[in-house]
Structure 1
């Protein structure tokens, strides 16, 4: 089983767009890069997507190869395949972690999400996301809190796992 990203953290972004990646995230990137060995820097792909996406999604090499295989399985010439190729191949940035455990985010990506002095990292299973902290709080955190507020006090979200297995 592939290692998963877990946790969240805030990190400073310098004027050149360099930002440290949480150490635990670096271990997952290493495990998810078939070409990585000690002494090398792990590769990853940052998908920035269209105008509606207000964050950067970082994929391990194994995770993006899984997405690529699913796209390639779609009928050649289909609108779905064309659009997914544009979103995941065209609107992405292959990169690697530098020797000091940092990502260098190009100005284009920082401008797209309004990233300046600080970045918020949050795990999303086989990917992790980089947000401008204020945007995350306004958009995603608010959605989660609203969803939870609609549920009974004694609600246990683990019930959804039973539904995923066809139980309950």
Structure 2
């Protein structure tokens, strides 16, 4: 990506009602060019998805499965009808992102040198096995055989909400993984990190 863009012509003046493309909020009248990065970093709060809960659905013989109704409702709220499915490179599961969340993920590739081995490896991991899909009129998606095999899916699949993304697991594997995750959090006494210092008004 080439950096923040604003709706409408680029030669319009700050504070003229344009919106940041990362969210729906109008830019304030006192908007300054220095606030572009703040717009980009903060707009996710206006448009981020919140996939919550665990839902188990049936995978039919054709590889079709219904995306849980709460997840479809979240796609509607986020004004997105496309999901990007990729095999997890850490777990025996499938990860699903909205197009916007996937774009945010792959944008981090720009932190690597264009021809570095690390960038090539990450690009292969993210792009080569990615499958964009849209639920049909009944909310179903057709899971590719490669993804089904990667996650070891059988007749039932578990959709696990992970906030801005969700995962698809074999139900028993998901139960074991979630149990282990809770145990690790308890053993290590983990807590969520606090937010950074508030951005002062009028600050750069």
TM-score class, shorter: 0.7 to 0.9
Q: CA deviation at 1:160?
A: 2.1
Match of 1:21 among 67, 75, 79: 67
Q: State the partner residue of 1:83.
A: 121
Q: Contact 1:55/1:131 (CA < 8 Å) preserved in 2? A: yes
Q: How do residues 1-168 of structure 1 correspond to structure 2 at under 5 angstroms?
A: 1=46, 2-32=48-78, 36=80, 42-50=81-89, 52-138=90-176, 140-150=177-187, 159-162=191-194, 164-165=195-196
**Is contact 2:93-2:167 (8 Å) kept?**
yes
Unpaired stretches in structure 1, ≥5 consecutive residues: 37-41
Deviation at 1:146, TM superposition (A): 2.0
Please identify the structure whose Cα radius of gyration is greater.
Answer: 2
Secondary structure of the structure 2 residue equivalent to 1:147 = helix
Change (3 A) 1:160 1:75: same
Specify whether residues 3 and 148 from structure 1 end up closer, same or farther in structure 2 by C-alpha distance, changes over 3 A only: closer
CA distance in 1, matches of 2:109, 2:78: 20
**Conserved? CA contact 1:32–1:63, under 8 Å:** no
**Deviates further, 79-88 or 64-73:** 64-73
> In the TM superposition, what whole-angstrom CA distance separates every residue of 1:121-155 from its partner, at most 9, and x where no partner exists?
111111000000111123x123223224426xxx7
Q: Distance in 2 between matches of 1:94 and 1:126?
A: 16
Distance 1:49 1:72 in 2: 21
Tell me the distance in 2 between the aligned counterparts of 1:3 and 1:137.
Answer: 23
CA distance in 2, matches of 1:3, 1:81: 27
More strand by share: 1
Higher relative contact order (CA 8 A, sep 6+): 1
Aligned-residue Cα RMSD (Å) equals 2.1
Report the TM-score when normalising by structure 2. 0.66
